[in-house]
Structure 1
Amino acid sequence: MARVNARIIRFGVFAAVLVLCGYILSKGASSAYSVPSTGASSSISTNEKSAQKPVEKPVEKSVDKPVSPAAPAAAGAAVVPAALNAQSGATSPVTKGKEKATFVSLARNVDLWSLVESIRQVEDRFNKNFHYDWVFLNDGDFDDEFKRVTTALVSGTTHYGKIEPEQWGFPDWIDKEKAAKVREEMRENKIIYGDSISYRHMCRYESGFFFRHPLLADFEWYWRVEPGIRIYCDIEQDLFTWMRENNKKYSFTVSLPEYKETIMTLWDTTKAFMKEYPQYIDENNMMDFISDDGGETYNGCHFWSNFEIASLSFWRSDAYLKYFEYLDKAGGFFYERWGDAPVHSIAAALFLPRDQIHFFEDVGYYHVPFHNCPADEKVRLAKNCVCNPNEDFTWRGYSCVPKYYKVNDLKRPNGWENYT
Structure 2
Amino acid sequence: MHEERCDVAVVGLGAMGAATLYQLARAGADVVGIDRFAPPHDQGSSHGDTRITRLAVGEGAAYIPLVRRSHAIWRELEAQSGEALFEQCGVLVMTSSEAPGRHHGADDFTAQTIELARRYGIDHEVLKASEIRARFAQFGPIRDDATGYFEPEGGFVRPERCIAAQLDAARQHGATVVTGVTVSSIESAGGGVRVKTADRTFVANKVVTCAGMWSAGLLGEPFSALLKVCRQKLFWFRLEAPSIFAEVSPTFILSDGPSETDICYGFPPIPGENSMKIASEQYTGLDSIDSLDRTVSQAEVAQMYRDHVLGNFAGVTPELVKASVCTYTVTPDYGFIIDDHPALANVTVVSACSGHGFKHSAGIGEAVAQRCLTGRSDVDLSAFSLNRFR
TM-score range, shorter chain: under 0.3
More strand by share: 2
Tell which has more relative contact order, 1 or 2 (C-alpha 8 A, sep 6+): 2
Point out the structure with max Rg over C-alpha.
1
More helix by share: 1
| TM score, norm. by length of structure 1 | 0.24
| TM score, norm. by length of structure 2 | 0.25
